[in-house]
Chain A
Amino acid sequence: MAAVEQDIGHVHEHHPSGLMRWITTTNHKDIGTMYLWFSFAMFLTGGVMALTIRAELFQPGLQIVQPEFFNQLTTMHGLVMVFGAIMPAFVGFANWQIPMMIGAPDMAFARMNNWSFWLLPPAALLLMSSFFVPGGAPAGGWTFYPPLSVQMGIGMDMMIFAIHILGASSIMGSINIITTILNMRAPGMSLMQMPLFVWTWLITAYLLVLVMPVLAGVVTMLLTDRNFGTNFFNAAGGGDPVMFQHIFWFFGHPEVYIMILPSFGIVSEVIPTFARKPLFGYSSMVYATASIAILSCIVWAHHMFTAGMPVTGQLFFMYGTMLIAVPTGVKVFNWTATMWRGSMTFETPMLFSIGFIFLFVIGGFSGVVCAIVPIDVQVQDTYYVIAHFHYVLVSGSLFAIFAGTYYWLPKWTGHMYDETLGKWHFWLSMFFFNLTFFVQHFLGLAGMPRRIPDYALQFADFNMISSIGAFGFGTTQLLFLYVVLKCIRGGAKAPAKPWDGAKTLEWTLPSPAPYHSFETPPVIK
């Protein structure tokens, strides 16, 4: 018998080594790792574009780039960050964590999992190489409204194909996540016993399956308008350019919740752990997540308040948008109540989570301001909106990604990360983030439109402050890379459960987690 057991133990860790391991892997941890590194590479790529933009905007006048290239940069920065950095990072977390948190050995569709990841690099390559074709990269903004996007060169077609591929990858990933969660939970784990991170991903995956085909549809219509003589969005041929905006934002608004719901999940794991207290209002958190997802599907036209809409349309979308503040507020109150009378410590994941709540609420406030139609008429397409969505996407999604990374790094690598450097990463990020984006509220209110390479003199001071902040923020992220690499290479040995308040299943596995998570399902009391 002993021989047989050893055999199994051998098979357990068996996989090809070197490059072939990563190309052929069907293991959720390997795939999760690849998603996370891919995401980080794209984060740096999009970051370099952002810094080029901020360098140009450091002073009035054109210094570094010309307007057409500037527009390519703003467009590509948005696309790369949304589709290349934030979304794959969350899929990486899902791959690593969901099987471990529900007591499963792996994801449901292991080979499809491999395929959904390996679609990403070619799509990214296609997108990035559009910089080198005649006419350059797409320059119509990440929302690529026609007719402007119909004027672009072949770079726009490359972007459309890249989006098709990324969409297929997202849909496959989502189906995999839904199937895993619904079918592979440990015996005895009911839906209402799942960790909140798993719940938020389940709801996110449904949103993705709902809206990614809509995006695929609208880019296909754009493709045929550009190349095959259709007139979906051409008024001269009986089409309507505004229809594009409706279809795009029917995808686009749920998309912003796709990028924030998993963050809510991560923060809802971290806060109870470091408060050493159960999450307050678990079931209301689940209901709030579901309400946000449902509401997100009926508010898309608040991105189009200045496109021209009947009074009733504007009022409907205004009221709907304001309603989202209610479940979002419930979440913030629940997190606060979780911290209340806890026994808190402030390791890096907790710092990033509290930073997340603090700044996300500011982004939420500016969201309510933008929801009010008359005020939106002033701030729409200005730097105010830029400030708003960076508060929810950078200090929202990205800070939660940092929180999650620090939280689970001991489990992933088997080593503790450098706590001092982690805290420096947090405080520097916090300072430079606000330096970059808080002043942009003032710029927007004072009247600076977004997507312009040069600006009037009254905006000079705040733009300079913002650019300094951006370079500080960008540089700080290299510190994050250093902390992660240091943690992978060594450091204090991590125990199975390095955080004494942690309750979820992944902490019952040794650190680093074994190649296959739970070969025997754990018992849920």
Chain B
Amino acid sequence: MGSKAAPTIMGALAIAFYSGLGLTAADPHQLNLPEPQSIIAQQIYDQHTMLLWICLAIFIGVFGVMFYSVLKHRKSLEHPAANFHHSTTVEIIWTIIPIFILVAMAYPATKTVIAMKDTSSPDITIKATGYQWKWGYDYLTGEGEGINFLSSLSTPKAQIENAAPKGENYLLEVDNRVVVPVGKKVRVLLTASDVIHAWWVPALGVKQDAIPGFIRDAWFAADRPGTYRGQCAELCGKEHGFMPIVVEAVEPKKYAQWVSEQKTKLAAARMDVNKEFTMDELKVEGEKVYAANCVACHQADGKGISGMFAALDGSKIAVGNRAEHINIVMNGRADTAMAAFKHMSDVQIAAVVTYERNAWGNTAGDLVQPSEINQLRK
């Protein structure tokens, strides 16, 4: 027992553990990068595989020698200690050889870096804007120019709070997907409205930080039709884990169809601006907008979180000063987590303000029409 038992038991456990790992990891995608769907992702995948083989060879070489030594050169086997302690030749050899190995790794990587950074002559340009906590997309040039929408998590709160069984794409599903045609070069311009976010779709080999006040860019071209899911990769506050990205690559014909559908929708929304809405219409729409955009901080009961996020229920502004209420929603509040929501449509802003003024214990009784918001934008 004693000092011999510890390594034996732990060794047996380690072997059991690693063989168990082989079983649970039956799905190869779980162990490695996702199957690459673009030329860049493919290069990344191949270089990563190459590096693993090189590392494995070095690992076996170094630890082969070390563990041979550990097994044979021990006092318990009465191995006498040698006394060598220095060899300039050997030092030079094991300084030079790694440099050659590193050059072999750096060469293909350099070519890929140059290719990744070449965002010139895209077929389609999409601007992605990070908000706390959703993504906004504007199709700027190419087929689909003029389309814009917001894309937020569509997983119901009940699933997150374990009140309902979790769906297949739990936390990786959105209300509006980014649709792109297969094989076309898509340039993504990235920025953010509040804090730094990062736009990441692993299968397409794209990750780029979205920085407020600056524009960065990246590109991809999807090889095959499919749905590719990613997540925000830069800590951006409390709902950082809940703002996924879903890109749907489709055949060009289907893309053209999607574009025309979106254009029809946008035209319909534009007409709404001058329509007079009733209180009930606005409240119904406002509740939806509130659930998608405001509930994370201000909470479903409008009470906020003490010390962090202001309560709306009973707030002086939400039942009193109407102009200031609209102003805060549209432009945010400096030095607080309250972001500007100007990017929402006139109808959405009018509806959510109306809802907040007349929900929970709030009974301001007044309503805001989309035409007012439209006027304020001018």
Contacts and interface: CB of A to CB of B under 8 A. Distances in A.
Contact of A452 (B102, B113, B161, B241): B241
A241 B87 CA distance: 49
Interface string A127-166: 0000000111001110001011011010000000000000
A345 B240 CA distance: 50
Interface in B13-30: 13-14, 17, 21, 24-25, 29-30
A63 B90 CA distance: 56
Contacts of B202: 378, 447
B358 to A, nearest CB: 28
Contacts, number: 321
B83 interface: yes
Contact of B87 (A61, A281, A374): A281
B7 A281 contact: no
Contact of A67 (B24, B33, B239): B239
Contacts of B200: 381, 449
A339 interface: yes
Contacts of A281: 85-87, 90-91
A310 B165 CA distance: 46
Contacts of B336: 151
B67 to A, nearest CB: 9
Interface in A303-353: 306-308, 310-311, 314-315, 318-319, 322-323, 325-326, 329-330, 332-333, 336-346
Nearest to A462: B30
Contacts of B69: 336, 339-342, 344
Given A235-B213, A375-B44, A333 B75 contact: no
A344 B214 contact: no
Interface stretch (A95-103, A253-261, A272-280, A386-394): A272-280
Interface in B221-242: 230-242
Interface residues of B, number: 109
Interface in B177-235: 194-196, 198, 200, 202, 205-209, 211-214, 216, 230-235
Interface string A365-379: 100110011110110
Given A68-B305, A322-B102, A449 B73 contact: no
B105 interface: yes
B171 A454 contact: yes
Contacts of B207: 306, 377-378, 380-381
Interface string B29-61: 111111000001001100110011001001100
B269 interface: no
Interface stretch (B93-101, B256-264, B313-321, B367-375): B93-101
Contacts of B91: 281, 284, 330
Interface string B103-115: 0011001101110
A357 interface: yes
B73 A455 contact: no
A439 B21 CA distance: 9
B73 A382 contact: no
B169 interface: yes
A235 B214 contact: yes
Contacts of B337: 151
A60 B31 contact: no
Nearest to A351: B7
Contact of B94 (A71, A330, A344): A330
Given A336-B66, A372-B105, A457-B168, A241 B196 contact: yes
Contact of B172 (A343, A381, A445, A456): A456
Contacts of A442: 25, 30-32
17 contacts: A150-B335, A235-B213, A306-B208, A306-B233, A315-B113, A326-B95, A330-B91, A333-B62, A333-B94, A342-B81, A344-B73, A354-B70, A375-B44, A377-B207, A380-B207, A454-B241, A454-B242
Q: Which 3 A-B pairs have the closest CB atoms?
A: A235-B213, A452-B241, A134-B307
